[in-house]
Structure 1
């Protein structure tokens, strides 16, 4: 499937019709009223200006586009091992592990097939029970009474995942006229999805009033959500109303707010919880490539019900009309609280005692198609999404999506700034990241005599920054700055010989260009081993930085092994402010769908 130039031009003219309508009428009026051979020069200038405006408006959206269309099929075969290591102190009289059997799932455009599955325990359970919950999840409960002091349990799966992106087609009228009972239950509010609140009702009405079909309705909602939320690894709350008010959250918040708006608008939406692989996939556009990634671990996303088609997956953080072959679905429910049985640890004890639990997820791809070409683009949202090519007119962002224009940065010369005085200490950057990754909920809860510890949706998102690829993060300096240091959120995995340091490069055409500064070098042996991630500061000597955009990159020599933490969804600035390339090159030709964590400290300079 291709989008030809005629289709593109028509869609853009429709998109900008309100802007072009009156100038075009005026143009024809002038043609009737004036003799063009004797027209005054000012009218000729006016007509030329109108022509230029029309040309720019027709051509510009391709460069502004933020939804990339992909038509190629995705396919992968993989092995998944979920490993639990549990240390059980004296006083615990019974311990159980809940596992949800990975389901087979399919619709005409997507399939998840379980080829083989095994459950292996280091100590045979005293009892095993299997049951189906009200949402259709198949739960296996293995119990030990009394439990051993140490227990290892492994769930092994062989899975094939196929996505047929061009097959998501059909007539999907909106509003939806009739629904089966199995879908109607997902129109109701739940504890974390307050779809009946006045704020959600107002927002749904505002967003969905322009929808011509159900696919457009879902797209309008997800365009709003991806632009409204800034990613936070572990926010204090996960419900839809908190997300709408605070504009922060992780995958649960994205899914809950999306589902709340859709349910209020009469579109059935349910939450899917599962596992994602950290291995990225690549989308090649006309001018660059995108490396699309998620963290390896637990994840939540969305399924929307389409009459006569079935449940279609959406990841509000990155994809429309499909989920990638990095998503492995495990269970469904009205919200993540109802779909969190997998991996839950339940125990009874004498006194306030709890087990120590470690979970590890290993994913190995046997077969994987992971490079795709985009076939077109659409001009919203501002943050990037990737979509299957369901044909529809481009949607103009509504007023809810508008942001105030950012003020232009002042212009100074370096000689001027050297005469300025130090005004105030400043600290800024992409500052929020978890020092320690706690994969289980922060606390357990009681269910009668038993206590339950459930998995959270926190996963480690970091790049191996001292590998064969190098990475760079855009940094905006808003005022003249005497630079003191730049810190990166790093974890040291190994290395004793050599150095690490930072380079600062000037931005040119949204890419790193000339190096303007280099930090002092740190010997690797001076950085000790520590749990989690910490700020590692790189100091600078007498560096004055003018206002503008710059890029920072971690460089190394020797045997350094460091990970650099990042946040998904580009929460720092725009969607194109993180890049990578092969270490021996300086092309910086691959964009990343995340922002690295960094901190800039220095003194603002003023006259």
Structure 2
């Protein structure tokens, strides 16, 4: 019988049925709105070193931005420089960013530079309609600039073009092309805070990167097939928000700090924001847009610090940056519905009415069926269980141990001999876990284990009391009955040095024997400790539903988080 080939064209909101085996998707369609008024301030403090001849600070003024989903209205912008600079200039750069440059001659005293503003941000997640055909017709005007290839966004690299053509083969609408590229990027990459390189090819080849890499790889793939993409720099704010899903909440949020994302141009929609780490056709209203450009090598003006020194002078100025945001008004009403298609990693989207073929993540092949048992099995002695004597260490292990996030910047020297500190995107991804909620992180055992200790990536900020860990059973994919409790750790004896470090919790006295399966690490505390637990964006190690919390008002662990805490499990195992 001849094979039947067909193309399925449908609306994003249509009911889908797949007669294929595929990996469970983490694609959520969101509906609702956010409305916030944000009092925002970014401050820098620089202490000049002896022999400094000049100091120059550049700041970009955040601009009002409108799109079909995310909107930012900026008002009451205030700059404060102390002491007053020797010279201050304002100009528009080639991409339309308004840049303020302040210069101090022969500075000796500490300098502070701050920008404060009110951002009225609102997000509307209602069905979007787009019918732009693909390939996109010839782009004219300023949007054409954002088809260029750069060193960090090599849209002309043959490997990038080949992959983009593979992903968009046969599609007829721009949205179809964009959603396929974005879904592939999300599944291809794993987030790391400090990658070896920030360009698209590094991420294409290794599958690793931070927010800059996600932006560059998505931009390179889309530009290579004629879709304009510009890179956006700004700040994400740490205030979380909930999307109601089923009988619980999906809590979403980002670390507070510098961030990179993209805008994609649709002729019938205009510029629309995407975060290639997790969202398409929108960013939440916790994003403050500041600067746009071709790539992150071009979007360097905001927060740029440059200086010159007398001949023979070594060293660099002391530097500290802080970001503060208050929400006098904050309203969120969002629901989320999980879809049966999409990437394996988290992707958030509004409902979109457009012709497209749903992206389905590549499935892991099922194990081969067991072979038939021979009719006659020779009698053998039952072997004794292998001794549990092999040290085992596993978990979500990668985090920047001991880093003081307030002071991290790298010094570079320009071709003119000026030294500079550029903004970086090393952000403190951590949750304050000793307040009115309890947090739990799943881990999965593939072999039996005698548990000895568990360590968490923690930083103590103050307070007093005790911490401990409970190991809980997994019951219907939620934390269940307690199996064991660790020794208590005195908060007063924890390190007070800046930075996150492994804090061990001892289970050796319990001699807990764990069979293969899922278990939960639940952090408990008494007193009034102020402790943060570091996390990784996405789910680098565990399952998508493996990070949970419950408040004092919750009877069950029905609330899930979109990230994975850093943890280390140690014990003795054996084959």
* Common topology (TM > 0.5): yes
Report the alpha carbon displacement of residue 327 of structure 1 after superposing the two structures with TM: 0.9
In structure 1, what is the Cα distance between the partners aligned to 2:333 and 2:116?
A: 27
In structure 2, what is the Cα distance between the partners aligned to 1:601 and 1:108?
A: 49
The reply to whether residue 500 of structure 1 matches residue 467 of structure 2 is: yes
- Please tell me whether the aligned partners of residues 439 and 523 of structure 2 are also in contact (alpha carbons under 8 angstroms): yes
Q: Greater CA deviation, 451-460 or 281-290?
A: 281-290
Report the alpha carbon displacement of residue 571 of structure 1 after superposing the two structures with TM: 1.6
| Aligned counterpart for 2:196 among listed residues 227, 236, 255 | 236
| Aligned counterpart for 1:347 among listed residues 301, 307, 319 | 307
Structure 2: gaps spanning 5 or more residues: 1-9, 370-381
The residue matched to 1:118 in structure 2 has which SS? strand
The residue matched to 1:217 in structure 2 has which SS? helix
The reply to whether residue 177 of structure 1 matches residue 177 of structure 2 is: no
Decide whether aligned partners of structure 1 residues 65 and 112 sit closer, same or farther in structure 2, where only a CA change above 3 A counts. same
The reply to whether residue 605 of structure 1 matches residue 565 of structure 2 is: no
Decide whether aligned partners of structure 1 residues 98 and 8 sit closer, same or farther in structure 2, where only a CA change above 3 A counts. closer
- Please tell me whether the aligned partners of residues 89 and 101 of structure 2 are also in contact (alpha carbons under 8 angstroms): yes
Report the alpha carbon displacement of residue 572 of structure 1 after superposing the two structures with TM: 1.8
- The 5-angstrom pairing of residues 132-147 of structure 1 reads 132-147=92-107
The reply to whether residue 314 of structure 1 matches residue 274 of structure 2 is: yes
The reply to whether residue 431 of structure 1 matches residue 397 of structure 2 is: yes
- Please tell me whether the aligned partners of residues 130 and 353 of structure 2 are also in contact (alpha carbons under 8 angstroms): no
In structure 2, what is the Cα distance between the partners aligned to 1:531 and 1:7?
A: 51
Report the alpha carbon displacement of residue 91 of structure 1 after superposing the two structures with TM: 0.6
- Please tell me whether the aligned partners of residues 68 and 378 of structure 1 are also in contact (alpha carbons under 8 angstroms): no
Quote the residue 1:537 is aligned against: 504
- Please tell me whether the aligned partners of residues 499 and 556 of structure 1 are also in contact (alpha carbons under 8 angstroms): yes
The reply to whether residue 227 of structure 1 matches residue 187 of structure 2 is: yes
In structure 2, what is the Cα distance between the partners aligned to 1:348 and 1:97?
A: 12
Decide whether aligned partners of structure 1 residues 299 and 8 sit closer, same or farther in structure 2, where only a CA change above 3 A counts. closer
| Aligned counterpart for 2:417 among listed residues 449, 452, 455 | 449
- Please tell me whether the aligned partners of residues 482 and 605 of structure 1 are also in contact (alpha carbons under 8 angstroms): no
| Aligned counterpart for 2:235 among listed residues 257, 275, 281 | 275
Report the alpha carbon displacement of residue 266 of structure 1 after superposing the two structures with TM: 1.2
| Aligned counterpart for 2:114 among listed residues 146, 154, 164 | 154
Quote the residue 2:374 is aligned against: none
Decide whether aligned partners of structure 1 residues 492 and 95 sit closer, same or farther in structure 2, where only a CA change above 3 A counts. same
- Please tell me whether the aligned partners of residues 215 and 260 of structure 2 are also in contact (alpha carbons under 8 angstroms): yes
Report the alpha carbon displacement of residue 583 of structure 1 after superposing the two structures with TM: 4.0
The reply to whether residue 377 of structure 1 matches residue 381 of structure 2 is: no
The reply to whether residue 559 of structure 1 matches residue 563 of structure 2 is: no
Structure 1: gaps spanning 5 or more residues: 1-5, 20-56, 409-415
- Please tell me whether the aligned partners of residues 211 and 217 of structure 1 are also in contact (alpha carbons under 8 angstroms): yes
Report the alpha carbon displacement of residue 445 of structure 1 after superposing the two structures with TM: 2.7
- Please tell me whether the aligned partners of residues 153 and 217 of structure 2 are also in contact (alpha carbons under 8 angstroms): yes
- The 5-angstrom pairing of residues 104-253 of structure 1 reads 104-166=64-126, 168-253=128-213
The residue matched to 1:164 in structure 2 has which SS? strand
CA displacement 1:508-542 (0-9 Å, x = unmatched):
22111111121111222222311100000001121
Decide whether aligned partners of structure 1 residues 277 and 584 sit closer, same or farther in structure 2, where only a CA change above 3 A counts. same
In structure 1, what is the Cα distance between the partners aligned to 2:445 and 2:363?
A: 24
Report the alpha carbon displacement of residue 405 of structure 1 after superposing the two structures with TM: 5.4
Decide whether aligned partners of structure 1 residues 181 and 310 sit closer, same or farther in structure 2, where only a CA change above 3 A counts. same
In structure 2, what is the Cα distance between the partners aligned to 1:387 and 1:585?
A: 28
Quote the residue 1:468 is aligned against: 436
- Please tell me whether the aligned partners of residues 12 and 351 of structure 2 are also in contact (alpha carbons under 8 angstroms): no
The reply to whether residue 547 of structure 1 matches residue 516 of structure 2 is: yes
Quote the residue 1:523 is aligned against: 490
Report the alpha carbon displacement of residue 577 of structure 1 after superposing the two structures with TM: 1.1
The residue matched to 2:153 in structure 1 has which SS? coil
Decide whether aligned partners of structure 1 residues 82 and 406 sit closer, same or farther in structure 2, where only a CA change above 3 A counts. farther
In structure 1, what is the Cα distance between the partners aligned to 2:48 and 2:538?
A: 38
Decide whether aligned partners of structure 1 residues 8 and 331 sit closer, same or farther in structure 2, where only a CA change above 3 A counts. closer
Decide whether aligned partners of structure 1 residues 417 and 305 sit closer, same or farther in structure 2, where only a CA change above 3 A counts. farther
In structure 2, what is the Cα distance between the partners aligned to 1:10 and 1:144?
A: 60
Quote the residue 1:361 is aligned against: 323
In structure 1, what is the Cα distance between the partners aligned to 2:74 and 2:426?
A: 25
Report the alpha carbon displacement of residue 449 of structure 1 after superposing the two structures with TM: 3.0
- The 5-angstrom pairing of residues 12-91 of structure 1 reads 12-13=16-17, 15-16=18-19, 64-91=24-51
- Please tell me whether the aligned partners of residues 432 and 597 of structure 1 are also in contact (alpha carbons under 8 angstroms): yes
The residue matched to 1:222 in structure 2 has which SS? helix
- Structure 1-normalised TM-score? 0.86
